[in-house]
Structure 1
Amino acid sequence: TVRAPGEDPDGGWGWVLVAAFFVCNSLIYGLMRVFGIFFVEFVQYFEESAQAISWISSIGVATQQSTGAALGNAYGARVVVMAGGLLAGLGLILASQATSLFHLYLSMGVMSGLGWGLIFSPMMATVIAHFTRRRTLALGVSLSSIGLSAFAFNPLFQMLKEMYTWRGALLISGALSFNIIPCGALIQPKKPSLAAERLSVLFERPYITYVIAASLFNAGYFVPYFHLVAHSRQVGFSEYQAAFVLSAAGATDILGRIFSGWFSDLGHFRLIHLLAVWTALTGLSILLLPVSSLTALYPALMVVSSVYGFCSGALTSLVFAVLPQIVGVSRVMGALGLFQMIESGAGLIGTPLSGFLRDITGDYVASFMMAGSCLILGSLTLGTLPHFFSCTLRNILNTVAIKTKHGPNEQRAT
């Protein structure tokens, strides 16, 4: 017999799905994060502006975030994820044969983006449904593959690009994406659910506030992954040095996701408070990225990039772990779909806006300033930072008061 996801939380087949989601994320966001390596090549090969090339990633991100959940509700997560793996691989293979920028928009942007969208939301909702007490940790482990793959893929695809040109490297990435299909097959068959309550969350103030904040996150979150390599090369670092900057961010990203999941599940602070703190720190680290690189000190750039990777990884698990607390587990699939559909608008304009700023200023400093400011503003939109710091201060004072009260008694007892 097939056991429903809610019957065996925090164990069993849920950990198999965590492993499958781990692989899927590495082949979605891990690959998306190495496309910064192709950015300079595309600008030179197609003789287009940075803004025009940036639309490739923005179309992919927007398409990825606006599909998946509705089809998962209608046809079941298993079929939808497997179809997504097929489309993601085909899109990258077709992109390897591109003869124009519009071709890349359709193949890498629309087709692969659609495939990624069919994978992420249903897999995310399936993992969430299998966990309760350890949900944030499970999501942290699942999403840690993004940093791991970014760490490994950046130097790997830099080498593949030099050996086989950007076309060969994209062809290989398409073949790798087909491994998502067997991962989708691991999802247990489940009767598709109706989405009658899906739109009801749009009338709930906490959900709307959260979506607005996440949209601001999304406008700036991906900018470093698409422009940091080009920026590093522009200020004088070699191609491999620039690639390893992203690898450093990918390595600490892994630690950030796992640490965030473990620490959040301890229950010392509310998840939304922790999300606000990590988001503000991520925005601050993005603001510091061009400052560190303009000093021409490579170790300084590596340190700031590592801090950025850790903080951005820490916030990612919480973005999705907070959602069930706002709408309830039973409405996660529909709420997640709407959540990503709405915030995709910000993702659509974020990277091209950063590319436009680069075109008019001649460097990427303004791009990073815009991105970091968006995350800090999103953190403030949550409206939880003052409450978080007041709670933290109160806990510290209570701890000190308890130790002061019992300290002399304990000394006399000894």
Structure 2
Amino acid sequence: MAAVGEERLGGGRRASRVTNLPEGGWGWMVVASCFLATICIRAVTRCISMFFVEFQMYFERDYSTTAWIHSMIDCTTMLCAPLGSFLGNRLSCRVTVFLGGLLSSAGLVLSSFASSLEFLYASLGILTGLGYALSYTTSIAMVGKYFNERKALAFGIALSGSGIGTFLLAPAVQLLIEHYSWRGALLILGGFVSNLCVCGALMRPEVTLTDDYNEAIPIEPLVSSQPLSRDQSFFFKAKEEFGFLWIPRFLVLSVSFVFLAFGCSVPVVYLVPYALSVGVEHQHAAFLMSIFGVSGIVGNITFGWITDRTCLKRHRLLSYIVTISMEGLCCVFLPLLHSFQLLVLFSVLYGYFDGAYVALIPVLTSDTVGSTHLASALGVVYFLHAIPYLVSPPIGGKSYSIIVVLHKFFLKSEFPKGVVLCKVDMFERYIIYPLIKNIPEALP
């Protein structure tokens, strides 16, 4: 398998390719930086839903309108993921993550001065989301360039930052809102997210460098040839970089990711408001997000470790099907949960399988396209999540505004959504899975 890809460095130098993946070394520092990046990106994004009540009261808007903020952050993050991959391949992962940290931090700081909900759409939804897009895909792709045998575990540890961050930030954000108002809380979060710049500083490949200027020996060409035009050169580079798009297995997995993204975003966004609607106190409702985060940590790491076992490496796709099946069942039973204790059970189960699913996305993608094309492939995969993330929360919020009572909303929408997830699972189990087994897994 191809190793650490060619990385552009300062002074016009490039990092030479390595035949074998290092399986550790500086790779663990890359895992640590990706871990912190997922805290700053995914955990903070999850905690944005805790501002909904404040936004609703301050701007006198309904849930459907305020939900667009969360949708725009997620949508922009996923929609611009290919841009992050492009810049990571053309510039470097270090520069791209650093630039993303500056943009996302600036977006949160500007949001603290918002005078209207439309201002938040632009600053918090678009600017912060764009910064996240530049940092998220490139940081995950760097992990895949350092590991092969322990790939699932490395991805699991790196992405567990989302759960750990949610566990720590959910009660902290609630306290910040209570003591400093939503403006002060956003300002402090902006400073916290600037740590993405630190993550970018750690994104470097551990390879042998060659100086193209000092060590290159000029050799006369043996055969005269005309250089390719700029358009031809761009075409061949794009064809080589995105050749994985013609892999049937990748296409089938992409369709599966799109279906699942439609169903998995609403419960996370409306868990806290739903808990409040059934009589759970504010601090307890925020604690549900913490439980969700801790359970996601366990799902990230345990599924990563389990699917790295020799006996299960060939069955990672089956593990993925199991996780989405359980997520669907959790959504089916959610309308029946009207107490804090039962919602804790939901947070544990749903968080665990959601964490497993999130960790398996880059693993399955890497198994399909290889580490060389991982950055570009992840950009496409996360791009396909954009539309589901954009429309699902506002549709849920609109249903809430019409029905008024949130538990009725879940009764009307979560049950069909859970049924849809189960149908998607059956479709994948009995149609997609038998098909994929006979499809080539990666590029030659």
- Normalising by structure 2, we get a TM-score of 0.82
Q: Distance in 1 between matches of 2:120 and 2:299?
A: 33
- Alpha-carbon distance in 1 for matches of 2:268, 2:379: 24
Tell which deviates more after alignment, 378-387 or 204-213: 378-387
Q: Residue in 2 aligned with 1:52?
A: 65
- Select the residue among 266, 278, 289 that pairs with 1:246: 289
Q: 1 CA distance for matches of 2:191 and 2:423?
A: 39
* Alpha-carbon distance in 1 for matches of 2:304, 2:310: 11
List per-residue Cα deviations over 1:263-303 (Å, max 9, x = no partner).
Answer: 0101333111100111111121133233212xxx2211111
- In the aligned structure 1, how far is the partner of 2:391 from the partner of 2:108? 22
**Is this contact kept in 2: 1:279–1:315, CA < 8 A?**
yes
Deviation, structure 1 residue 341: 1.4
**Taking structure 1 as reference, are residues 316 and 355 closer, same or farther at Cα in structure 2, changes over 3 Å only?**
same
CA displacement at 1:51 relative to structure 2: 1.4
2:27 is matched by which residue type in structure 1?
A: G
**How far apart, in 2, do the equivalents of 1:331 and 1:93 lie?**
35
Counterpart of 1:406 in structure 2 is none
Superposed displacement of residue 384, structure 1: 5.9
**1:206 alignment partner AA:** R
Structure 2 CA distance for aligned equivalents of residues 114 and 236 of structure 1: 37
Tell me, in whole angstroms, the C-alpha distance in 2 between the residues paired with 1:384 and 1:184.
42
Comparing 142-151 and 261-270, the one that deviates more: 261-270
How does 1:19-58 map onto structure 2 within 5 Å?
19-58=32-71
Cross-structure match for 1:112: 128
Question: Residue 207 of structure 1 contacts residue 326 of structure 1 at CA under 8 Å; is this kept in 2?
Answer: yes
Q: CA deviation at 1:377?
A: 4.2
Distance verdict in 2 for CA 1:369–1:175, change over 3 Å: farther
Greater mean deviation of Cα atoms: 283-292 or 316-325: 283-292
Percent identity of equivalent pairs: 32
Which deviates the most, 128-137 or 51-60?
Answer: 51-60
- Specify which of 294, 303, 308 is matched with residue 260 of structure 1: 303
Q: For residue 321 of structure 2, what is the amino acid of its counterpart? A: A
In the alignment, the residues of structure 2 paired with residue 282 and residue 267 of structure 1 have an alpha-carbon distance, to the nearest angstrom, of 26
Task: Extract unaligned runs of 5+ from structure 2.
Answer: 1-13, 210-235, 438-444
Quick one: which amino acid aligns to residue 376 of structure 2?
Answer: G
Q: Deviations over 1:67-91 (max 9, x none)?
A: 2112212222111110000111111
* Structure 2 residue aligned with 1:368: 414
- 1:325 paired with 2:367, answer yes
CA distance in 1: counterparts of 2:176 and 2:302, whole angstroms: 32
Is 1:80–1:118's contact at 8 Å kept on the other side of the alignment? yes
Q: Is the 8 A contact 1:219 1:351 kept in 2?
A: no
Tell whether 2:202 aligns with 1:157.
Answer: no
Judging by fraction of residues, say which structure has more helix: 1
Offset at 1:97?
A: 1.1
- AA at the equivalent of 1:138: A
Does the 8 A contact of 2:257 with 2:384 survive in 1?
A: no
Aligned partner of 1:224 in structure 2 is 267
Distance 1:312 1:347 in 2: 15
C-alpha displacement of 1:20: 0.3
Gaps of 5+ in 1: 392-414
Aligned residues: 385
Q: Offset at 1:174?
A: 0.5
Q: Distance in 1 between matches of 2:18 and 2:47?
A: 34
Say if 2:378 is the partner of 1:336: yes
Cα offset, 1:8, TM superposition: 4.0
Question: CA deviation digits over 1:144-181, x for unaligned, max 9?
Answer: 11111111111111111000011111111110000110
> Corresponding residue for 1:235?
278
Residue in structure 1 matched with residue 440 of structure 2 by the alignment:
none
* Residue aligning to 2:3: none
